[in-house]
Homo-oligomer: A and B are copies of this chain.
Amino acid sequence: MVNDQRESGRRQVFSAIRKAGRVARVDLARETGISPATVTAITAELLREGLIEETGTPDRSDLRRGRPRVDLKVRGAAHVVAGMKLSHLAIATALIDFEGTMIAEHTCALDKSRHSAAELTALVERALDETLSKAGLSRDQLSGVGLGMSGVVDAMGGLVHWSPSVAERNVPLRDMLGARIDLPIFIDNDANLVAMAEQYFGHGRGVSDFIVVTIESGVGMGIVINNEVYRGARGCGAEFGHTKVQLDGALCRCGQRGCLEAYVADYALLREAATTTDFADITTSSAKLQALVEAARGGDTTAQMIFDRAGRMFAMGLANVVNIFDPQLIILSGERMQFDYLYADQVLDSIRRSIIQIDLPPPQIVIHKWGDLMWAKGAAAFAIDGVADIALQNFSGNAA
């Protein structure tokens, strides 16, 4: 029981150091509510185990008082982890150290977007090995692998309930990968991992409650409440893309009607466009969408109408999330330029008009464009979480 409490204190302190970047012991005590004496004892253990290190800060106000201030930070060299993002037609991999510094990055193209779990396991292993060889590292220098993908993923159970990338349902992907790769594996929904990347490395640093909306071929959401990613009772919360924006509305790929994705995803825009436009000479969806974007920019009123409705549906769905959560901050995060229409000023205005009107400023909305490698960085942040948990547990075992 007492050891449990000590381990939980250790987790709290280590997590506070990670989230802060660099922090003084006295601020850790304030942040965690743990007494300064206990913080000192815990940080001594963490230093001894090599998980954190001391670092001086050139803070003049402290120097003037004659005491150079010593901060604590995570020791980058303690561990290396891999973060991997499985997307439509690629696997992006990032190797990062324990402090979050990028060591190597690599992207493998895939020849199709949907694979059997067995094929996928082999592809992930290959992508990992290619990245390691690029960095001149071997597998036994890695401490863990984080993998993100779209779909409904039970992170705690290591189970993929369903994903557009996986042919089967309810796949125990964590164990399948673990059996091949022989390292601790951590899997999660990709939007949750973007939320984690924002929390540790991005706009979410120091913000206790925020929402990340990710826009790729689908629409995802990650929710951070009280500094933790919120997953829901069954591990499948934050399913923003399949909230309904129209009763008996457009058919969605998930088989239901009226989902937000059925109005704003690539396929939904192209489905509408096909009614009046002949894309016969364009083969890829991506090129078709680009043509539609250019048509709208060039003044084609049908193309404009398609994007206009999608933008308004997106604003309505997002305003609903704001009315329910009332977050401090919303981060709209995506990599692809064709989604610019969802970031348009009139869309943001429409969100602000559709939320409950009180005499306080509405939540801040930030647009953050990044590529697959930033998603991979989120997967790595998740792996760092898991590897830290294992490390903190193990030396709790040593101490007992």
Interface, chain A (partner B; CB < 8 A): 1-2, 4-5, 8, 29-30, 33-36, 152, 161-162, 169-170, 209, 221, 223, 225-226, 230-240, 242-247, 254-256, 258, 312-313, 316, 319-321, 323-328, 353-354, 356-360, 363
Residues in B neighbouring A320, C-beta threshold 8 A: 243-244, 320
Other A-B pairs beyond A1-B36, A236-B326, 10, CB < 8 Å = A5-B33, A161-B359, A234-B358, A236-B360, A237-B325, A240-B323, A243-B319, A244-B319, A246-B247, A256-B354
Distance to closest chain B CB from A299 (angstroms): 24
* Chain B residue nearest to A32 in the complex (CB): B5
Q: A327–B244 contact, CB under 8 A?
A: no
Residues in B neighbouring A34, C-beta threshold 8 A: 5
Distance to closest chain B CB from A173 (angstroms): 15
Interface centre among A8, A36, A325 (most CB of B within 10 A): A325
| Sampled A-B contacts (15; CB under 8 Å) | A152-B356, A161-B359, A223-B324, A232-B326, A233-B326, A233-B327, A234-B363, A236-B326, A237-B325, A238-B326, A239-B323, A243-B324, A244-B320, A244-B354, A246-B247
Q: How far apart sit A326 and B29, CA to CA, in the bound complex (Å)?
A: 34
Q: B324–A238 contact, CB under 8 A?
A: yes
Q: Which of B1, B325, B356 contacts A35 (CB 8 A)?
A: B1
Q: How far apart sit A242 and B255, CA to CA, in the bound complex (Å)?
A: 27
Q: How far apart sit A321 and B325, CA to CA, in the bound complex (Å)?
A: 10
Q: Which of B1, B5, B234, B359 contacts A326 (CB 8 A)?
A: B234
Distance to closest chain B CB from A239 (angstroms): 4
Distance to closest chain B CB from A386 (angstroms): 21
